[in-house]
């Protein structure tokens, strides 16, 4: 039986991240902990995962679960009944908010209307579809396991499903992309009227990047793509609420917003990360060991006051809301005053001054907020403010 949900002001809120490490193929750009040759172990993995849920839930009986996120890997690759089993185990062992957001990442080749209907029955409220690109040549070049026909069929299935909160992921900077190609694809994307869109720059910090890096567009072209993107999405009514994420009003991903707000989360599954009780931990990364003992840790880092402040600046600058100066002062200064900003926040404002002048940052309603141009160089801005 599910635990009763009890609402009182002292209950802490918590998010759960569930890692499903299985994929049909490993995309050349991917740097996540995934496997394309272990599908026969899916039943054992789910068994170990539910065991981990039961063991760790005992530590968080007074927490309220607000969001659940299935990531990977390709969560849609495993049978829907396994998703049901995982969710039922969570309901039975955690106190779950009745209005929780439950997201699941899906790939076009492993999702259809029947599976989406089951997801809806099991309580899934949000779907994230990994499209990356519509072009068959580009998809083949990066070893994506689907083509454009499969993408549009999957997208149609999502749009016709009972789950109306959904999004799609794309990558800027893939091999053979040109500005004209990107502009054409963006028009196709906008015609689909998808409530949430994610556009990530291709990361060069991957093991196999040298296999196709020479075919990728240069930095100048990628910047032009980004500038075209932000202009078009703004005109189409999307809110650029985080560096890589755009949403129609009300369709922002609540789970991801918790990360950027330094809210606590518990990672479950192979290699999953957690941020709890002033610590960042990473679950064990050895697949066979996880099946035997899913509670083993790979790494644990204590978040001291200095690191907490650095992460606050870094994470909040990733969002359109930016840094609330009053909140920053209350969290990280010993000075207690309602007068002018103290030395700590004054120093932060002074460091941000050069970016106010170039309109990469703005100061409004007591917040230091990045602009679209600022998002483009947010790593440099963060470095300078730190």
pLDDT in tens, 61-89: 889 999 999 999 999 999 999 999 999 99
pLDDT of residue 338: 46
Are 296 and 283 within 8 A, CB to CB?
A: yes
pLDDT in tens, 217-266: 999 999 999 999 999 999 999 999 999 999 999 999 999 999 999 999 99
Q: How far apart are the first and last CA of the chain?
A: 48
| pLDDT mean over 182-208 | 95
Closest CA to 368 of 337, 342, 346: 346
Q: What angle do CA 255, 62, 47 make, to 5 degrees?
A: 65
Q: Is 293 left (phi over 0), alpha (psi -120 to 50) or beta?
A: beta
Per residue, the 3-state secondary structure of 267-294, as one string, reads: EECCCCEEEECCEEEEECCCHHHHHHCC
Residue ranges and CATH numbers for the domains of the chain are 12-260 (3.20.20.70), 326-386 (no CATH)
| pLDDT mean over 39-55 | 98
pLDDT in tens, 335-377: 444 445 467 888 999 999 999 999 999 999 999 999 999 999 9
**Does an H or E element contain 266, and which?**
strand 265-268
| pLDDT mean over 132-141 | 95
Closest CA to 316 of 260, 380, 361, 366: 260
* Of the listed ranges 27-31, 125-129, 321-325, the one predicted with least confidence: 27-31
């Amino acid at each position: 039986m599910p635990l009763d949900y009890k609402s009182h002001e002292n209950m802490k809120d918590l998010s759960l991240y569930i890692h499903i490490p299985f994929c049909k193929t490993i995309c050349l750009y991917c740097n996540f902990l995934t496997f394309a040759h272990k599908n026969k172990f899916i039943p054992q993995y789910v068994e170990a995962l539910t065991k981990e849920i039961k063991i760790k839930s005992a530590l968080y009986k007074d927490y309220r679960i607000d969001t659940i996120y299935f990531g990977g890997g390709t969560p849609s690759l495993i049978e829907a009944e396994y998703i049901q089993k995982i969710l039922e185990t969570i309901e039975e062992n955690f106190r779950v908010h009745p209005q929780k957001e439950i997201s699941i990442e899906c790939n076009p080749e492993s999702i259809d209307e029947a599976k989406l209907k089951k997801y809806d029955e099991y309580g899934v409220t949000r779907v994230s579809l990994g499209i990356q690109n519509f072009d068959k040549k580009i998809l083949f070049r990066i070893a994506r396991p689907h083509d454009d026909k499969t993408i549009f069929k999957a997208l149609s299935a999502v749009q016709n499903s009972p789950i109306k909160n959904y999004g799609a992921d794309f990558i800027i900077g893939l091999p053979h992309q040109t500005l004209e190609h990107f502009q054409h694809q963006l028009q196709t994307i906008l015609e689909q009227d998808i409530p949430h869109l994610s556009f990530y720059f291709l990361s060069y910090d991957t093991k196999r990047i040298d296999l196709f890096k020479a075919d990728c567009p240069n930095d100048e072209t990628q910047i032009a793509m980004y500038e075209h993107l932000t202009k078009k999405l703004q005109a189409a009514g999307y809110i650029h609420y985080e560096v890589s994420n755009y949403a129609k009003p009300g369709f922002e991903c609540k789970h991801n917003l918790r990360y950027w707000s330094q809210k606590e989360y518990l990672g479950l599954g192979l290699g999953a990360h957690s941020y709890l009780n002033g610590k960042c931990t990473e679950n064990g990364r050895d697949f066979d060991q996880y099946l035997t003992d899913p509670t083993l840790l790979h790494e644990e880092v204590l978040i001291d006051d200095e690191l907490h402040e650095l992460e606050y600046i870094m994470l909040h600058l990733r969002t359109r809301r930016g840094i609330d100066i009053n909140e920053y002062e209350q969290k990280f200064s010993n000075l207690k005053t309602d007068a002018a900003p103290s030395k700590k926040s004054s120093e932060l404002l002074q460091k941000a001054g050069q970016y106010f002048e170039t309109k990469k940052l703005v100061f409004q309603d007591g917040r230091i907020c990045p602009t679209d141009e600022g998002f483009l160089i947010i790593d440099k801005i963060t470095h300078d403010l730190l």
